[in-house]
A and B are shown apart, each in its own frame.
Chain A
């Protein structure tokens, strides 16, 4: 097997508090291969988002990465000088957050927000940015002409797709998605996740998909890791973690999810 795209080794992140250190991520190791969709599951507070922030070195005080390595293409991101990191963040590692749709600037037309990103990272001219933006709009299923609109003219689901489009415009190798659809209703959620899968198949990027919804995760990921109180308690193929979970906590997580009665699971529009 090829060397993984990202290899996280013994990562430990502490929150430094008055009362002492609280270890939010405790000696966590996992890797994501090229073109792989890796899911990280767990309850709120288990440390899954803290890992996302550590990878992009966006952790803010009192969070402190106290140990471990994050090898991205063999280079440790944690040791990288800030100036060099700028070439990797967004350009090679993109991020989509839960409320990302609210991170669009309400005063700027969407095409200008594409230009903002593409000009800064790739030195694109306005014409080049517009062309790339329209291409990305087509990819996420929005009429390219609408790129001249303002964010408020789009629905929440469309805005989230626009954020994904902006993220993809830089053709990153890894996209970190932290609860990208949690604020949206299920139909829009399925629309977005199917689109992510198709874009992934087309471009071959890797995905770190963070969510508390194990069902959604098993529908989309290749491998899954389950976190409990800062520790990675189980990592495995999607079929193993969903059909034969090894850890008691994973089974608990599965059992706690309200699901539809069997009679309602006929697979409409399948």
Chain B
């Protein structure tokens, strides 16, 4: 049994790892003992309801926030405390983010061309504007947009899905090793979500990116990520191989999440609301207390079993 997910893959050094990270905001324990590792060419999904701490993890990894306790490791080095200006710059170049809201994350007064040329020039990936132009076209084509049409456009001329593709292209322009995508599809129409998920999965593979995919939608996690962490109330309750977890979820909260994913072939039963409300409340209250013990239930499948018994209906 191993408590430490970092020790799991020996010989393979993660680009970024959180090691037993705690984050407190006053009396609120937003993160409790989070240990995750991001590897090149692999995606890790953080799944949980709003307020469970998944965005706090992303903010710590993007260095917009710092752990109260525990370590942030970057290519094996302890980088919990801020380093020199040049070291911070190098870190930020290596770790890029795609945000939830495609409508507010592009500057409305600049063209798409400007959004992509700037990171190329600033990071020295194109020495001249002429060379940058070629790189912009390649980036746009790579994220599935028509370079000739899209380059000259302004953000308001694009749909939400197209803007999210531009955001991904902007992140790629920096040539990062890690991409943190925080709910990249939740503000998009259902009908275009799959396209964005497929794009993320493809660039991850082609560019050997380490991808941290944050979502409240466990169904989309299955599309992108080889590994997942189910979080509740700041704690990792179940983690490991995505397929193993989905096929055989062991923690009651993971089961609760899966039970609530809308499934057209399973109509909701009338007269069931009181029962489900009670189960959901029970599962939440038994998943909330800090659980130190980690149990290995498969080759790459771990849970923090709740101290109390699981409701009989499970």
Interface residues of A (CB under 8 A from B): 43-44, 141, 156, 185-191, 193-195, 197-198, 201, 212-220, 238, 242, 252-253, 256-261, 263-270
Contacts and interface: CB of A to CB of B under 8 A. Distances in A.
Given A186-B217, A197-B273, A268 B258 contact: yes
A201 B270 contact: yes
A186 B194 contact: no
Contacts of B279: 269
B264 A214 contact: yes
A256 B50 contact: no
A267 B259 contact: yes
A188 B264 CA distance: 18
Given A263-B246, A269-B255, 9 more contacts: A186-B218, A186-B257, A187-B49, A187-B280, A212-B191, A215-B262, A259-B261, A269-B256, A269-B313
B11 interface: no
Interface string B187-207: 001111110010000000000
Contacts of A265: 258, 263, 266
Nearest to A200: B270
B246 to A, nearest CB: 4
Given A185-B50, A268-B249, A268-B314, A219 B222 contact: no
A267 B262 CA distance: 11
B49 A43 contact: no
B190 A212 contact: yes
Contacts of B193: 256-258
Given A256-B194, A258-B197, A189 B264 contact: no
Nearest to A198: B273
A144 B286 CA distance: 24
B110 interface: no
Interface string B271-307: 1111011011000000000000000000000000000
B189 A43 contact: yes
B55 interface: no
Interface residues of B, number: 46
A195 B277 contact: yes
Contacts of B175: none
Interface of A is mostly: helix
Contact of A190 (B192, B259, B274): B259
A270 B258 CA distance: 11
Contact of B264 (A195, A242, A267, A268): A242
Nearest to A181: B262
Given A198-B273, A256-B193, A219 B258 contact: no
Interface in B165-192: 189-192
Given A212-B189, A260-B218, A193 B271 contact: no
Nearest to A139: B273
Contacts of A264: 222, 246-247, 249, 258
B219 interface: yes
16 contacts: A43-B190, A185-B49, A185-B216, A187-B49, A213-B190, A215-B263, A218-B265, A256-B192, A258-B222, A260-B218, A260-B219, A261-B246, A264-B222, A264-B258, A265-B263, A269-B259
Q: Which of A190, A216, A242 has the most CB of B within 10 A?
A: A190
B129 interface: no
Given A191-B273, A214-B264, A257-B190, A270 B259 contact: yes
Contacts of B243: 261, 263
Contact of A269 (B222, B274, B314): B314
A191 B218 CA distance: 17
Contact of A198 (B222, B262, B272): B272
A156 B49 CA distance: 11
A258 B272 contact: no
B214 to A, nearest CB: 13
A264 B264 CA distance: 14
A191 B262 CA distance: 12
Contact of B191 (A215, A220, A242, A256): A256
A265 B261 CA distance: 9
A141 B274 CA distance: 8
B267 A219 contact: yes
B273 A219 contact: no
A187 B246 CA distance: 16
B255 to A, nearest CB: 4
Nearest to A201: B270
A221 to B, nearest CB: 9
